[in-house]
Amino acid sequence: MQFIFTSNAKKTLSKLDRQMVQRIIKKIRTWSDSQDPFKYAVKIESYDLYRFRIGDYRIVASYDKENERFKV
């Protein structure tokens, strides 16, 4: 499974401290390598989005079924 970062997500990551960014990237790689990354996500029903948790931070992503990837 692939995670694609939007320019807005990249901008937000650039504002965080380096240690937190490394933690987020490591977690996303773990989810990418997982056979079922949906088990780590909570579906946001009203918007058809998924929320992933990393400590005090949340990543909200949409899922592209055709290309089988998340857009952060």
On average, the pLDDT of the chain sits at 91
Model confidence pLDDT, tens digit, residues 13-24: 999 999 999 999
CA distance 16 to 14: 6
Angle at alpha carbon of residue 44, lines to 38 and 50, rounded to 5°: 35
Q: Where are the domains of the chain?
A: 2-71
Q: Which CATH architecture has domain 2-71?
A: 2-Layer Sandwich (3.30)
Confidence of residue 47 (pLDDT cuts 50, 70, 90): confident
The whole-model pTM stands at: 0.80
